[in-house]
Structure 1
Amino acid sequence: MTLRRFFLLACAFAAPAHAAIVVDGKPDEADWADARVFADFRRTQPYALDAATLATQARMLSTPQGLAFAFRCAQPPGVPRLKPITARDNIGAADRVNVMIDFDADGKTGYNFTVSLSDSIEDAVITDENQFSSDWDADWQHAVHETDEGWTVEILVPWTIASMRGADTPTRTVAVYFDRVVASRSERSATPPVFYGNQVFLSGYEKVEIAQYRAQLLDFFPYVSVLQDLKNPGTEFRGGMDVFWKPGGNFQLTATLNPDFGQVESDELVVNFDAIETYYSDKRPFFTENQGLFDLRTPQDGLILYTRRIGAASDDGSGEAAGIDAALKVNGSAGAFKYGFFDAEESGDAGRSFRAARLLAPGETFSIGTLVTSVDRPALDRSALVDATDWRWQASERMRFDGQVIASQVDDAGITTRGTGGWARWVGTVNDRWEHDAWISHYGADLDFNDAGYMPRNDLNQAQWRTRYKRNDFGADSATAAVTYTGIAVGRTNDDGDRLSPVLRLERSAEFKGGGKYFLQLRGDLAGYDDQIARGAGNVWRPSRTSMWTYYESPRVGDWQYIVGVWLMQEGVHGRAVQWEPEFTYYVSDRLTVDVTAYVRFSNDWLIWLDGDRLASYRRKQWDTAVNLNWFPAPRHELRAKMQWLSIGARDARAWRIGERGRLRRDGTADDFSINSFGVQLRYRYEIAPQSEFYLVYSRGGFERRDGHADDPGELFADALELRDADQLLAKVRYRF
């Protein structure tokens, strides 16, 4: 018996005994006859809300092992079955089913479990009604079985999958949602018939009372890794451990010692000339486990606790990633409250300390909570404290109010700065066709939660209104199944009262009966100031600008699927730009898939900041291309190849200086330049057992900026292949005990 199994205890309080469910894809155990049945599947993509074209039945059963789910999916031989084997969290165009669960039935946090016809899987955490994060990778069981007339799926979600309130009671109320996707028809059907794109999604799940069981779990995940640097020859050995202890749903602890965050998952290449920092997701296991309670966001895509700050570039100025000695996370519940504590300590004299504490009082109609973060940065003589209080009131089934109040205090070299901000939102669903939401926000000029969080900007006052209308009453002779119209109006100022460019946006999204989707967006940025482009050196007056973005997403046709789009825009001082956006996927077989994207932008007036109050505009040619290959030669073996190339050629430079009332005036010339960025990763993964893996990863890449003009794509690509800022081979074993 393994150590993990030794600590796995399950006992019923007031529920009948069950035989163990064998997760083999065949729901043929006698206990399934006692399961709750969900059979009223309605089409939500296209948003017709009529009966699904293929029958689907879902069953739900509470067992000592966990919550068991079974699907019976009718799919006769005349309906194509799309079942490519894919990497985790990357299913794409495939037949699949989804189970989504809110264990506390309070609309705060949900969990998504997806299984495709090939038995590939996805899992995600759902917050803020419809925000999905697929960074989380959990331990759950799944299996698929095919017959001539259809296919069946079994899923077992253990009781230890997440922290939940009231884990000691004999029963509990959960909220559940089921859907099925028929990929060849681009059709999704669901019960209850709510759509994940709506503002009311998570709180629209069906509530079900079930028998509850207790479970305990203790997992150790030691790892060993070897990194061979091929550019500057040298070898680095590392070892450490993650610990997941779950004595019950009311309390769960996650810890990590000397973690290894070597890149077995590579980030996308980005060259960012904007004033707003690029956001990256986090796939590191410690930071994704039980993270939903800490996932507190703002409507402008801000995040109060942004875990990529931990282990990021060190404050010592070396540019190297900071090491992490240890980190600890606690989640639990006590009475009517949920709580969480987070602590991470970086190594060395420049090491930062990150702490967070979360308290939430959820209720059926009203909830309130607070998240406090603290960061100590000794190398910079800086510390930061942030308190974000969030609330939510479900006034009725179709009306919701929510918001936050945020306060920050930053002590930087003996100078203390305090800032405040917040936002409030109203969401109203009139009926199945009409949906409105509006929000107002204020982020003071001194508000700063960037030390522990991600704050796109401060010094902002904003109001937004959005209306969405869905039409699904097209005739039988129409190729269109459903259309969604969206209108958005945004008004903004900064704290000095400067009018920032207002935005008007109109969108139309059409879904077709034969599969596929067409999208059109028209946007107008009205005249106003840009107070960020010069990095605080002054505001730049921008005249009115318009843009159009459109694309067509095909259903899978034979072995191909594609997206073709174009973006026409005004940018810079008085110029225009066009960006072509083709994407192609070729299914060589169910085990081998190739994806190719090539975004190409041509601009005659690309405006960027140089220094001080000086800017420059250029003619630009930009290539952003990627090729991904995913091959599964045998069960538990996975080989992925990823290549990305990004280049920019900027010529015919014209220099500008900010003049009176933000108007730009010519100020000589600036230097032409070109940028080349290239990255390639070859990754082999072998699954030893669930959550036990061996990786062998080769990575190479580099970045180069040259003075002078060069925009010939062939020349730039040839030069990119020579870039070698990093060249390394990593072997890693992570094993679960």
Structure 2
Amino acid sequence: MVCAEEPLRSTITKFYEVKPRTLSSVTNEFSFHYQVDEEGIYFSAHILNPDNLANRSEENDRPFENEHIRIYIAPNKNSVNAYVFAINRQNVFYDGTYNAQTGENLDWNGRWQHHVENSLGRWTAIGFIPWNNFTFATQTPRQEIQLLVSKHSNNNRRILSSSSTHSGFTEFLSSFTTLNILTSNNQNVEIFPYYSFNHTLENDSNKHRVGGDLFWQRNQSETIDLTITPDFGQVEANDLVINFSAIETFFSEQRPFFTRNQSNYDVSAPENLILVHTPRIGGQSNIEDVGARDINAAGRYTKAMKWGTMSLLGASENDEKMLQGRDFLLARVKFNHEDSSFGLSSNLVETPSINRRSIVLGLDYFAQVSPTHSLSLGIINSNIRGANESSDVGLWLESNAEVNETHIHSISAFVYGEHLDISDVGYVQRINRKQFEYEYTYLVNDMNEIPLEEIAFNTEVEVKTNFKNEKLPLVWGLSTEMTTTKDDLFEFGIELFTFGKDDTLTRGFNSTNIDMGWLLEGVYESRELPFGQIALEAIYGSENWSGRFSELMMSFNTEIATDIFGEFVFEKYHSQSWLKWEAENQVNEYILDELTLDVRFDYKFSEKHELRLRLELIAGKAQGKQAYQIQTNGTRKETERTDDFSFSEAAFQFRYKYSLSQLTAVYLSYTFGGEFENEKSTLSHRTLISDAISAKNEHNLFFKIRWEM
């Protein structure tokens, strides 16, 4: 610990090898120097004998795959939240938050400075992180922060940390170094207006949008955030997904207002349950039959105190297609006590177009029971009022325990009611579920006689049912992951699924019986080779109604020419028993062949200028086998032979980005997307892809500028 009377400057030269988890001391590869004043922390990180530069493009605010450093800062002692700042050798950065329950989240955007200097046999990152990025528990000038620094090699195969842990382990936040600091407690106002122009080529129409965000930090413990007409923007395209299942596709948040000062609302649970999923606000509603709406305005107030944090978020949507927009009011109070936290949540959503009111209340608790044991539990209640009224409860418990550096146990148990409904502003993959999961990992690091750095053996079991007490498949898996001394990765696994029912396929109608299944999986990820990196994954097994299936995935990253990077991804899926829900209790079985291609090129001809091109293609051919009527006991009754069909989608984006500063940029993009369907399965994948490209159901030119005032 650094005492308050001492100069707040220091040098860290001793690091621990935490991946592989040998915990050996390393003193000659990495050093970190820092100095603290009332405005923030100044740092310089020196990396000796660096890895070969990975042959791939890295984009700001995206997870890195090549060598980089991370700086973790927790603004309050005994916190369950921290902020992460990362820089790589190319001076590309990302920032985000770390939560003891949910891990890293890169939705948060901070304000900080950095640059990188490269020389023979070393590189140095220099920067400054202001204290006004953080919300402190008190308004007093004297504060305590927690600090941890780590260096990650290519593909995160090897990690050096200033403490003997890393973010994948339970005791991570409790291992930070404590620093006593003085802060200025000044006000800070940031204003980010934007203008965007979208020209739709299909119907020759134009759309102009003007809006902006205001972030006002009244003092170091109180913030007020406002936004007017925030937009998703066509700057970053979501991945192309063709989804025939009953599980909704999840997309992350991209709007700056909803990624800033939002960590207080982070409540998550098994089945990817997220109590506040902000893309719902202004996004496409799955409650109404209406697309995305504009947001008139939104505001958020956050106040941190010694006992915890309180926050209030309100938003109002614009009226679209003669339908009134929704109104959102979200409240969150979080009480912190030493190594635990207790939260209260309230979400209110009004949907006037269908006379619907949704109220979701939640309680959640997290405790770092010991440095190696964490516990999380919660309960939520949803009440829907309107034409279709419902009310139900969900509760969960999660626990992680590390007996030592070798044995790791994870337990998850949850009960989500049949009528639980948080979808007005939340997200969950499945409801109507009672489920228990257990996972055990055994790490082996001491392997001096063989060319392996680490082996991880993993086994897991999943037992589940629903509120009809139907027998859902029991899942058991066994896998091993091996990292060689040259940083190649191999993974092998097997999963077994018992006979049981699928209660999601028919969207709430009769559950269908699913035969016993199994799968074998093999994965290989190469080290950084002179020409790039290769990754392969192959899966083979039996699924659904005893049909064989196979899946092959290949990716290749390379530097095509100086500063021109390429990424190529190919996926091929074949199934002899692919099931598609038609209506009510009717399910059709097909032989499916699906092909996916994803090609990306990136050209950074300076730190300010970047050209990015991406083309995604999906084509599928479904050969009909049989249509079935699912009976009440889960058996299937043949009705007729199903018809063949084929489908394809294409999405293309060409984007130019000019960065005036870290938070100011100009974007110009050209995008198109196309969908194609046919009643034949004899068309080639090449023909299907060509037809999807020709369709151009969406065809746009887009310009956007967002600047910092």
* Offset at residue 230 of structure 1 (A): 0.9
> How many residue pairs were aligned?
704
Aligned residue for 1:8? none
2:572 pairs with 1:596: no
* Offset at residue 317 of structure 1 (A): 6.3
Letter paired with 1:198:
F
Please state whether the residue corresponding to 1:447 is helix, strand or coil. coil
Aligned residue for 1:714? 686
Among 2, 15, 35, which residue is 2:9 paired with?
35
Closer, same or farther in 2 for the Cα pair 1:590/1:156, shift >3 Å?
A: farther
Letter paired with 1:361:
F
Which consecutive unaligned segments of at least 5 residues does structure 2 have? none
Aligned residue for 2:419? 446
Please state whether the residue corresponding to 2:258 is helix, strand or coil. helix
Q: Distance in 2 between matches of 1:398 and 1:186?
A: 23
Please state whether the residue corresponding to 2:690 is helix, strand or coil. helix
Please state whether the residue corresponding to 1:293 is helix, strand or coil. helix
* Offset at residue 250 of structure 1 (A): 0.6
* Offset at residue 182 of structure 1 (A): 3.1
Q: Distance in 2 between matches of 1:451 and 1:184?
A: 38
* Offset at residue 238 of structure 1 (A): 1.6
* Offset at residue 360 of structure 1 (A): 0.4
Contact 2:336–2:342 (Cα < 8 Å) also in 1: yes
User: Over aligned residues, Cα RMSD in angstroms?
Assistant: 2.2
- Alignment identity in percent? 23
Q: Distance in 2 between matches of 1:200 and 1:351?
A: 45
Closer, same or farther in 2 for the Cα pair 1:274/1:318, shift >3 Å?
A: closer
Aligned residue for 2:446? 473
2:607 pairs with 1:635: yes
Q: Distance in 1 between matches of 2:16 and 2:572?
A: 40
Closer, same or farther in 2 for the Cα pair 1:565/1:272, shift >3 Å?
A: same
Contact 2:102–2:268 (Cα < 8 Å) also in 1: no
Letter paired with 2:338:
E
Closer, same or farther in 2 for the Cα pair 1:53/1:515, shift >3 Å?
A: farther
2:594 pairs with 1:622: yes
Aligned residue for 1:427? 400
Please state whether the residue corresponding to 1:709 is helix, strand or coil. coil
* Offset at residue 691 of structure 1 (A): 1.1
Q: TM-score, normalised by structure 1?
A: 0.92
Letter paired with 1:69:
F
* Offset at residue 216 of structure 1 (A): 2.2
Closer, same or farther in 2 for the Cα pair 1:53/1:550, shift >3 Å?
A: farther
Letter paired with 1:407:
N
Aligned residue for 1:59? 33
Q: Distance in 1 between matches of 2:63 and 2:579?
A: 38
Aligned residue for 1:564? 536
Closer, same or farther in 2 for the Cα pair 1:59/1:647, shift >3 Å?
A: same
Contact 1:463–1:492 (Cα < 8 Å) also in 2: yes
Q: Distance in 2 between matches of 1:710 and 1:53?
A: 63
2:433 pairs with 1:460: yes
Aligned residue for 1:498? 470
Among 600, 604, 616, which residue is 1:644 paired with?
616
Q: Distance in 2 between matches of 1:385 and 1:91?
A: 35
2:614 pairs with 1:681: no
Contact 1:282–1:307 (Cα < 8 Å) also in 2: yes
Contact 1:177–1:205 (Cα < 8 Å) also in 2: yes
The 5-angstrom pairing of residues 232-271 of structure 1 reads 232-271=203-242
Among 294, 297, 308, which residue is 1:323 paired with?
294
Please state whether the residue corresponding to 1:556 is helix, strand or coil. coil
Letter paired with 1:189:
L
* Offset at residue 126 of structure 1 (A): 1.5
Q: TM-score, normalised by structure 2?
A: 0.95
* Offset at residue 426 of structure 1 (A): 2.3
The 5-angstrom pairing of residues 361-380 of structure 1 reads 361-380=335-354
2:519 pairs with 1:547: yes
Please state whether the residue corresponding to 1:49 is helix, strand or coil. coil
The 5-angstrom pairing of residues 68-79 of structure 1 reads 68-75=42-49
The 5-angstrom pairing of residues 266-345 of structure 1 reads 266-313=237-284, 319-345=290-316
| Deviates most, 171-180 or 724-733 | 171-180
Letter paired with 2:291:
E
| Deviates most, 538-547 or 213-222 | 213-222
Letter paired with 1:549:
E
* Offset at residue 15 of structure 1 (A): 7.3
Please state whether the residue corresponding to 2:389 is helix, strand or coil. strand
Aligned residue for 2:377? 403
Q: Distance in 2 between matches of 1:184 and 1:275?
A: 34
Among 608, 629, 636, which residue is 1:657 paired with?
629
Letter paired with 2:657:
R
Q: Deviations for 1:250-276, whole angstroms, at most 9, x for unmatched residues? A: 111211112233221111111111111
Aligned residue for 2:184? 213
Closer, same or farther in 2 for the Cα pair 1:144/1:315, shift >3 Å?
A: closer
Q: Distance in 2 between matches of 1:370 and 1:185?
A: 36
Letter paired with 1:666:
E
Among 458, 468, 479, which residue is 1:486 paired with?
458
Aligned residue for 1:165? 137
* Offset at residue 637 of structure 1 (A): 0.6
Q: Distance in 2 between matches of 1:371 and 1:540?
A: 37
* Offset at residue 67 of structure 1 (A): 2.0
| Deviates most, 283-292 or 43-52 | 43-52
Letter paired with 1:633:
F
Q: Distance in 2 between matches of 1:521 and 1:588?
A: 34
Please state whether the residue corresponding to 2:649 is helix, strand or coil. strand
Aligned residue for 2:18? 44
Q: Distance in 1 between matches of 2:72 and 2:562?
A: 26
* Offset at residue 425 of structure 1 (A): 2.0
Letter paired with 1:258:
T
| Deviates most, 313-322 or 328-337 | 313-322
Among 26, 44, 69, which residue is 1:97 paired with?
69
Q: Deviations for 1:336-367, whole angstroms, at most 9, x for unmatched residues? A: 12011111110114200112111000111332
Aligned residue for 1:668? 640
Aligned residue for 1:20? none
| Deviates most, 148-157 or 685-694 | 148-157
Q: Distance in 2 between matches of 1:724 and 1:612?
A: 33
Closer, same or farther in 2 for the Cα pair 1:284/1:438, shift >3 Å?
A: same
Contact 1:159–1:215 (Cα < 8 Å) also in 2: no
Please state whether the residue corresponding to 1:213 is helix, strand or coil. coil
Please state whether the residue corresponding to 1:215 is helix, strand or coil. coil
Contact 2:650–2:692 (Cα < 8 Å) also in 1: yes
